[in-house]
Amino acid sequence: MNSTAALWLTIIALGLYHGLNPAMGWPLAVANAMMDRRARSLFATLLPLSGGHLMAMAVVLAPLAWLGWYVQYGRAIRIGAGSALLLLGLFKLVRRRHPRALARIAPTRLAWWSFLMATAHGAGLMLAPFMLGLCVTAGPAPSAADMGHAAVMNYTAQSSLGIAALVTAVHTLAGFAAATAMAWLVYRHLGLRFLRHAWLNLDLVWGASLVAAGAAGIALAI
């Protein structure tokens, strides 16, 4: 398996992981479906949650993809992103409390809640090292002799932004699929008893995964 395929598989795996994590919101979909007594409410809840998650990815990945070109080979940006992610993971391992402000958001503002929750958890930053790795392996831009320096910069920046958009979309779709499957399973088969007696608390795992992703990002950049 080449490095590009490995990076894409990692991005998809992170999407599945984010979708399965109850902190990203699928229990809200189950609760709404049970209150409305119709499965359609699952999707009506998961769609804005996924939209908010997508925006949380985009606001992190797009600027990093654009800035990556202005640092030679993007190495400094990649190391910086990996270091920030590693430090955030260590912080989450030490302090696992959720921001209280998130509990004050109205239940009807699902997309906004999802955006803030994903941002607070560093979900977009978790993808950054792998997205920047794809930008590096995307292939060389046309030479300055053929296009001119400004044109080459514009071409590479647009290419990186395109990769960031694709990474955001693929990751979000994977997360939506995982969240939908989990919500449907709980709603149709496992019920509220599962949520009461087998609650999936992934705070410790999440912090450890941030550290691992940060370390991987630094290793890929060096």
Q: Which of 48-62, 149-163, 181-195 has the lowest mean pLDDT?
A: 149-163
Instruction: Identify the band that residue 163 occupies on the pLDDT scale cut at 50, 70 and 90.
Output: confident
Predicted pLDDT at 17: 87
If phi > 0 it is left, if psi is from -120 to 50 it is alpha, else beta; for residue 11 that is: alpha
Q: Which of 101-110, 169-178, 213-222 has the lowest mean pLDDT?
A: 101-110
Q: What are the residue ranges spanned by the domains of the chain? A: 3-221
Give the whole-angstrom CA distance, residue 43 versus residue 173: 13
| 120-129 pLDDT, tens digit each | 777 788 888 7
Q: Give the percent of the chain with pLDDT over 70.
A: 69
For the segment 216-222, the average pLDDT, to the nearest whole number, is: 70
Predicted confidence (pLDDT) at residue 158 exceeds the cutoff of 80:
no
Which is more confident, 213 or 69?
213
Which of 198, 189, 128, 196 has the alpha carbon at shortest distance from 164? 128
For the segment 13-33, the average pLDDT, to the nearest whole number, is: 85
Give the whole-angstrom CA distance, residue 164 versus residue 132: 8
Predicted confidence (pLDDT) at residue 59 exceeds the cutoff of 70:
yes
Give the whole-angstrom CA distance, residue 168 versus residue 61: 8
**CA dihedral in degrees (136, 137, 139, 144; nearest 10)?**
20
Which is more confident, 179 or 35?
179
DSSP 219: H
pTM of the predicted protein model: 0.76
Count the Cβ atoms, other than its own, within 10 Å of residue 129.
29
Give the whole-angstrom CA distance, residue 118 versus residue 168: 13
Give the whole-angstrom CA distance, residue 27 versus residue 192: 10
Predicted pLDDT at 135: 72
Instruction: Identify the band that residue 171 occupies on the pLDDT scale cut at 50, 70 and 90.
Output: very high
For the segment 44-72, the average pLDDT, to the nearest whole number, is: 82
Instruction: Identify the band that residue 179 occupies on the pLDDT scale cut at 50, 70 and 90.
Output: very high
Predicted pLDDT at 137: 58
For the segment 95-124, the average pLDDT, to the nearest whole number, is: 72
